[in-house]
Amino acid sequence: MIDPIFLVEAAINGILLGGVLALLALGLNLIFGVLDIVWIAYVDLVMLCMYAIYFLNAVYGWPIWAAGVASLGVGTLLGVGVHLLIISPILTSAPINQLLATGGLLFFLQSFATFLWTTDHKTVRLSLPSYEVAGIFLPATRIIPFAISILAVISLYLFLTRTYIGTAIRAVSQDRDAMALMGANPQRVYIVTSAVGGAMAGLAGALLIIQYSVHPFFGAQFGPLTFMVCVLGGLGNMVGAFIASFIMSEIIAIGGVVISTEMGYVIAFVVFIIMMFVRPGGILARRQ
């Protein structure tokens, strides 16, 4: 029998991992919901932002917060760049071509990063305290990202519901053609969405670099899980994705302790596949 303390620890680790997934899913989900395109290379953009912070902080000696702010800028530029260079020319072609084009971007970024920076793991050193609560260690490097990611979810929610452009974004995600008929310019909405999605990638990079080391295959490590969280939560459904990331991360964390790390992931993926069959619209979708 497994000591309950391990299970509690696993559950807490699951919540912390859930925060990371929620953060990664946030920007992807926004783009996914508005443009109805899967940016397969999204987590690779996060990887680039992590490298940016690493170089600014560890090589050029910027303070970590300044590097983090710069990472938001890098992410925004990347988001707009990907949209203008890759998505925009094929916006009307088959969804599968869009998926494959961003898949090509994934290959490109992953191998170009290998080429430029080798496969070494790069870490930003940061000394933050660790708290002990009832025999369980809670490192600040995981609590801070968790708190900021929840703040980011809330502010994104406010942006989408309380601002004019946010309302426009939601309108486009509901009906692309009707929005154009109303005299709005979908192209502008797409660019803003990609910029916000990119900025979210920058934020995610800033928060992930303090708890994970960065390497060219970072995207391959978290990418699939991130798409699954988005789809499981329901396209463009922020709250759904948030819940889905905790479901997935708890399965992985607890399954990892009870059976083995790989089996934790296997169970999470199988749950995803089954959920796709029974609830294709996401966990919060109402049956039609």
Partner 1 sequence: MSGRLLAGAVLAFLLALPFVPIGGTRQYVLHVVIQIFLWSFIGQAWSLMGRFGLVSLGHGAFLGVGAYTTTLLWNFYSLTPWIGMLLAVAVAVGIAVVLGIPSFRFRVVGHYFALVTLAVGEVIRLLIIAERDWTGGSLGLTLKTAGSDWSVLAIQFADKRVFYYASLAVFLAGLWIWDRVDRSMARSGLEAIGEDETAAASVGIHVTRFKLGITVLSAALTAVGGVLYAQYFSYVNPDTLSGIGVSLKIVFAVVLGGMYSLLGPLVGTALTTALSEGLRIAFGLKLLGMAETIYGLLLIIFIIFLPSGIYGSLHQLLRRRATKTAPA
Q: Which residues bind partner 1 (CB under 8 A)?
A: 38, 86, 89-90, 93-97, 99-101, 103-115, 118-119, 216, 220, 223-224, 227-228, 231, 260, 262-263, 265-266, 269-270, 272-273, 276-278, 280
Instruction: Report which of 50, 270, 238 is spatially closest to residue 145, judged by C-alpha positions.
Output: 50
**Shorter beta-carbon distance to partner 1: residue 178 or 270:** 270
Smallest distance, partner 1 to C-beta of residue 98, A: 8
Smallest distance, partner 1 to C-beta of residue 93, A: 7
Token digits of residue 182: 């109303």
Smallest distance, partner 1 to C-beta of residue 210, A: 26
**Shorter beta-carbon distance to partner 1: residue 68 or 255:** 255
**Shorter beta-carbon distance to partner 1: residue 39 or 146:** 39
**Shorter beta-carbon distance to partner 1: residue 158 or 263:** 263
**Shorter beta-carbon distance to partner 1: residue 15 or 91:** 91
Smallest distance, partner 1 to C-beta of residue 274, A: 8
Instruction: Report yes or no: 203 and 145 within 8 Å, Cβ to Cβ.
Output: no
Smallest distance, partner 1 to C-beta of residue 170, A: 21
User: Burial letters for 63-85: b for 16+ Cβ neighbours within 10 Å, e otherwise?
Assistant: ebeebbbbbbebbbebbbebbee
